[in-house]
């Protein structure tokens, strides 16, 4: 897979492989689950979070004929999560606690998001949760039902963040800034109306996602705020909320601070970034 710009996108099918690749230096930059990046930093891996990838865009799905209608109904059920070090796990942890349950009351299984729709279809698990488009796929194919959208429980939900190795920041800071600026300006472009979202869905569905354009169109329009690409700058209070919840859930130990796991200098420079002057794919 080759990008048209100065960067080359490298597609993975699971977060464990992404983690190994950034730790080994095989790739110098990647999108990754926020708590996983924070955990790696706690373990001394020389990486920094420099920007957000998107907001919201996560749901929990159950089978259409499931008797699960509320969070309380998840007791003793099996839930597939992309990784234990994910905000998808933390949001369930919080929702269970708010409903008088704990994470010990459910069975978690880690599963690559692309495998989740088939697992739900086959009733191998009772519920699945990850980023889109895999949740919407179960809806479109008629066997999945939304239990909750992350944005309804955790407004401005953060899932994936852009992580770069410190040696890249040291050797090529202009590349990191160019990448961050590109995400900021692309996000502004996407938020410029539904027509642009549909153009983007058609363009990226095959090139990046290997999915039908109809699915990406559905994800970016139903409802229109299902995924949000505005305001992707790093905010201390949001990461401290993740850190606090991560400590309570026992997946983080608090040994790394906001300054340790982020470099906000690139994000700060996107303040006032303007949308690309782009008509969209031809």
Partner 1 sequence: MSKGLRLVLGVFVAFLGLSLLHVWLNIGFQKFNFFAASQTKTSLRVGFLPVT
Q: What minimum distance in Å lies between the beta carbon of 29 and partner 1?
A: 5
Sequence-ordered list of residues with C-beta below 8 angstroms from that of 69, at least 6 positions apart, any chain: 147
Does the protein bind partner 1 through residue 127 (CB under 8 A)?
no
d(CA 230, CA 228): 6
Which of 111, 119, 68 has its CA nearest to residue 89? Answer: 111
Which residue, chain included where needed, has tokens 């990406």?
Answer: 216
> Which of 6-14, 89-97, 100-108, 253-261 is the region at the interface with partner 1 (rule: CB under 8 A)?
6-14
* x/- map, 177-206, partner 1, by CB under 8 A: --x---------------------------
Which residues on adjacent β-strands are paired with residue 144? 63
d(CA 146, CA 149): 7
Distances (CA, A) of 66 to 1, 42, 232: 39, 39, 36
Does the protein bind partner 1 through residue 28 (CB under 8 A)?
yes
> Which of 35-43, 51-59, 61-69, 239-247 is the region at the interface with partner 1 (rule: CB under 8 A)?
51-59
Which listed residue (35, 117, 133, 246) binds partner 1 by CB under 8 A?
A: 133
To which H or E segment does residue 99 belong? none
Q: What minimum distance in Å lies between the beta carbon of 231 and partner 1?
A: 15
Which listed residue (50, 91, 168, 184) binds partner 1 by CB under 8 A?
A: 168
- DSSP annotation of 73 reads G
d(CA 205, CA 223): 18
Does the protein bind partner 1 through residue 35 (CB under 8 A)?
no
Does the protein bind partner 1 through residue 85 (CB under 8 A)?
no
> Which of 8-16, 96-104, 148-156, 272-280 is the region at the interface with partner 1 (rule: CB under 8 A)?
8-16
Q: Angle, nearest 10°, between helix axes 87-98 and 34-42?
A: 100
Which of 133, 90, 118, 97 has its CA nearest to residue 242? Answer: 90
Query: Between 219 and 234, whose beta carbon lies closer to partner 1?
Result: 219
Q: Interface residues with partner 1 (CB under 8 A)?
A: 3, 6-15, 18, 21-22, 27-32, 53-54, 57, 82, 113-114, 130-134, 159-160, 168, 172, 175, 179, 208-211, 219, 227
């Amino acid at each position: 897979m080759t990008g048209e710009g100065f960067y080359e996108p490298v597609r993975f099918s699971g977060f464990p492989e992404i983690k190994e690749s950034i730790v080994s230096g095989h790739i110098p930059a990647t999108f990754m689950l926020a708590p996983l990046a924070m955990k790696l930093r706690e373990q001394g891996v020389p990486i920094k979070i420099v920007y957000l990838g998107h907001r919201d865009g996560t749901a929990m799905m159950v089978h259409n004929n499931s008797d699960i209608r509320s969070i309380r109904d998840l007791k003793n059920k099996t839930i597939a999560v992309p990784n234990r070090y994910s905000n998808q796990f933390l949001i369930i942890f919080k929702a269970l606690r708010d409903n008088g349950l704990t994470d010990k009351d459910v069975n978690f299984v880690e599963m690559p998001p692309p495998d989740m729709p088939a697992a739900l279809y086959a009733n191998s698990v009772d519920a699945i949760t990850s980023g889109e488009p895999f949740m919407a796929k179960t809806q479109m194919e008629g066997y999945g039902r939304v239990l909750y959208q992350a944005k309804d429980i955790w407004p401005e939900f953060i899932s994936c963040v852009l992580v770069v190795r410190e040696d890249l920041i040291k050797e090529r800071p202009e590349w990191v800034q160019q990448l961050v600026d590109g995400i900021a300006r692309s996000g502004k472009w996407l938020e410029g109306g539904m027509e642009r979202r549909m153009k983007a869905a058609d363009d990226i569905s095959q090139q990046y996602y290997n999915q039908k354009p109809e699915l990406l169109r559905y994800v970016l329009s139903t409802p229109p705020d299902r995924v949000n690409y505005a305001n992707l700058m790093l905010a201390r209070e949001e990461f401290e909320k993740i850190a606090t919840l991560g400590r309570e859930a026992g997946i983080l130990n608090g040994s790394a601070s906001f300054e340790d796991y982020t470099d906000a200098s690139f994000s700060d420079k996107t303040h006032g970034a303007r949308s690309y002057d782009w008509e969209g794919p031809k």
